[in-house]
Amino acid sequence: MARAATTSDVFNAIAEPQRREILVLLRGGELPVTELARELAMSQPRASKHLRVLREVGLVQDRKAGKQRMYGLNAGGLRPIHEWTGGFERFWNESFGRLDAYVQELKQQRQEE
């Protein structure tokens, strides 16, 4: 099966660690590409390329502010990821429930010793 183009699939877009770092930085508010590039120790053209991918999948938005372009997080674009990972919530809750029961059992055994 062919892999979806990075620019059309949120999952592929965030598979790149530097793009995830950009999203983390943008949680704090809008930043210009020059600041993002500096924070990530990468060239401005490389940061712009990552931002273009993130913008095309709807994870960031941009606006012109004077001579620079400001980028901001569009967290709504993460909905497909949230919905997909949410499908595993029952699994984790059950796992934590079993772990809690085991810990309680160990505590009880220690108290009885």
Whether 61 contacts 72, CB under 8 Å: yes
pLDDT tens-place string over residues 1-25 = 445 455 678 999 999 999 999 999 9
pLDDT tens-place string over residues 45-69 = 999 999 999 999 999 999 999 998 9
**What domains sit in the chain, N to C, each tagged with a CATH number?**
6-112 (1.10.10.10)
pLDDT at res. 56: 93
Distance CA 68, CA 103 (A): 55
Question: What's the chain's average pLDDT?
Answer: 88
Closest CA to 56 of 13, 3, 2: 13
